[in-house]
Chain A
Amino acid sequence: MANVDREYQGLAFDYVRSPDQDARVAVRHPVVVVGAGPVGLTAAIDLARRGVPVVVLDDDHKLSVGSRAICFAKRTLEIWDRLDCGDQMVEKGVSWNVGRVFFQDERVYSFDLLPDSGHRRPAFINLQQYYCEGYLHERTAVLPAVDLRWRNRVTGVTPDAEGVTLAIDTPDGPYALRADHVIACDGSRSAVRSLMGLESKGRVFRDRFLIADVRMKADFPAERWFWFDPPFHPNQSVLLHRQPDNVWRIDFQLGWDADPDLERQPERVRPRIRALLGEDAEFEFEWISVYTFACLRMERFRHGRVIFAGDSAHGVSPFGARGANSGVQDADNLAWKLALVLAGKAPDRLLDTYGTEREYAADENILNSTRATDFITPKSDESRVFRDAVLRLAKDHPFARRLVNSGRLSTPATLHGSALNTPDAEAFGGAMVPGSPMTDAPGTMRGHPAWLLSCTGDVFTAILFAGDRGFDEATIAAIRALGTDGIPVKVLIVTAAGATVPSVDGIDYFADDDGAVAARLDARPGTCYLLRPDQHVCARWRTFDADRVRAAVARATCND
């Protein structure tokens, strides 16, 4: 779909009265999502595509105000691809893979976040959060199972054994809803969290950052540029990112003593930007703000029928772009589990694994974010001495480049040790250990160029590597049978380049033209990988055995 460049920033959505507001008894819904930010919208789309009706409540009637998140990671794009809204994001967004680091007046080094080719998506795109939310919103609009209600503010949350009662305020006054499950995606100041007497705890960083989005014509490349202690902003750091529509994000570290009200005055910001761009630079301000950041998380993300996802559950500093990106992965992890539980195909305790898996991921994100923040804002003289020593060494000493930490950019967590994984019983090399999100690779499907990831997901998928002769009839019958199980498993047969495997009707064949799939998965004929509906590897074997596949599906759904 072509991008009609609507003024997403200014869009305002109508409040529409719901018949639920006229009901005498609170109407019951299987899932209510609180918050129509990137996480709530992603969760709603994923659930609706699985046939689960979702009510989404948002207290506002606009998209993200100003540009908050801009960097959306490869894994997030892959999740949105699965939900059929990745193309729009990537078409509009500025794709980038390379980051450059400067120290004082020198270029120290650059890094490539996606050095190997053969992936559908780049390491990152930069896209204003209001576009991201706008496209997700458009996606919900074509899903009849999503009932999005603007200007519906949740003011009360009362869980009991059978469900949750929500008190909601609207321009027409209050009403109540009942929900089997509530997904609280209501952001860092989560009302649901505080109404339940819960907290998100952690560390606040004693530093302030000025974030200016400016519109200008400039010819910096589509790369992430990070300066430590540059001549134009001594003793502090500066970060530059290119966004669509000739908008640039410039992020100036200010230090803890800066006065936020003063620093956000345009006449104060202008000289800082001129110092970077040159005295005669012409630009207009899109948005200016001053932030402090914290790394926080709730102790548990699941509280019975109320499940927290995104910023309500955890928060990180933006260096590393792990906020929205990790929240979208929360939604990706939760939707298939909740859909199975609601369909009666998995026990309630499957939802506990949402908590354990995403708490683990949040810890990884917080660790990375904290380390980056400590490098960017050294907490002691000695830590600053080492920081600067690393930067001085980095130019000519490759080892020191690995120590430079201007933000470890978002990569998805590998769910090592998850109870849903079937541990390896055979030897495998490579990165695709149980728990890892499946890698992408190019190939051909039904005569057309295709991507491995786009052929997996939504349901359990077994990736099965064929030998030169394909599979015997008994195996084909077993593959077909898996597709009709209560929790179906789709089998994708991967064929080596040049192999002439006889194709069988109703079975998908993916031609591994470059051998990239086999190489990335350390595969041999017979090797089989089982992916969960969220494309994480949960089991793998050297030979295909339908019963072992079923046992692994049972394990991954708490049905064992």
Chain B
Amino acid sequence: MAILNIEPNIAQPDDFYEALIDMHRDLDAEQSRMANAHLILLLANHVGDEAVLREAMQRARALVPTSSDVSTRPA
């Protein structure tokens, strides 16, 4: 695998991160969800390569804690 670039690729990471959080400023949870969906679709089309997209989706999903992980986490 590893067609997906997981090494640093963004020149100014702090700037990017700030912009990402900024994108959500003044949005409620529902609106933020919409904005995220727009963003994912725009980026996915830009990437284009289906193998890369599938790998990214797989990694994204694998990182979600399972419900048992969540319940055993210390409060």
Q: Which residues from chain A sit less than 8 Å from chain B, CB to CB? A: 385-386, 388-390, 392-393, 397, 399-400, 403
Query: Are B41 and A385 in contact, with the CB atoms below 8 A?
Result: no
Q: Which residues from chain B sit less than 8 Å from chain A, CB to CB? A: 33-34, 37-38, 40-42, 45
Quote the shortest CB–CB distance from B17 to chain A (angstroms).
22
Query: Are B45 and A392 in contact, with the CB atoms below 8 A?
Result: no
The list of the 10 closest CB pairs from A to B, nearest first, reads A389-B37, A399-B45, A385-B37, A389-B38, A386-B37, A385-B33, A389-B41, A393-B41, A389-B34, A393-B38
Quote the shortest CB–CB distance from A344 to chain B (angstroms).
49
Task: Give the complex CA separation of A397 and B41 in angstroms.
Answer: 11
Query: Are A403 and B37 in contact, with the CB atoms below 8 A?
Result: no
Quote the shortest CB–CB distance from A375 to chain B (angstroms).
14
- Chain A residues within an 8 Å CB radius of B40: 386
- Chain B residues within an 8 Å CB radius of A399: 45
Quote the shortest CB–CB distance from A160 to chain B (angstroms).
51
Quote the shortest CB–CB distance from A86 to chain B (angstroms).
39
Which residue in chain B gives the minimum CB-CB distance to A403?
A: B41
Query: Are B34 and A397 in contact, with the CB atoms below 8 A?
Result: no
- Chain B residues within an 8 Å CB radius of A403: 41
Which residue in chain B gives the minimum CB-CB distance to A392?
A: B38
Query: Are A400 and B33 in contact, with the CB atoms below 8 A?
Result: no
Task: Give the complex CA separation of A393 and B41 in angstroms.
Answer: 9
Task: Give the complex CA separation of A356 and B67 in angstroms.
Answer: 43
Contact sample, A vs B, 18 pairs, CB 8 Å cutoff: A385-B34, A385-B37, A386-B37, A386-B40, A386-B41, A388-B34, A389-B34, A389-B37, A389-B38, A389-B41, A390-B41, A393-B38, A393-B42, A397-B42, A397-B45, A399-B45, A400-B45, A403-B41
Query: Are B37 and A400 in contact, with the CB atoms below 8 A?
Result: no
- Chain A residues within an 8 Å CB radius of B42: 393, 397
Task: Give the complex CA separation of A386 and B34 in angstroms.
Answer: 8
Task: Give the complex CA separation of A386 and B42 in angstroms.
Answer: 12
- Chain B residues within an 8 Å CB radius of A385: 33-34, 37
Among the interface residues B34, B37, B40, B45, which one has the most CB atoms of the partner chain A within 10 A?
B37
- Chain B residues within an 8 Å CB radius of A397: 42, 45
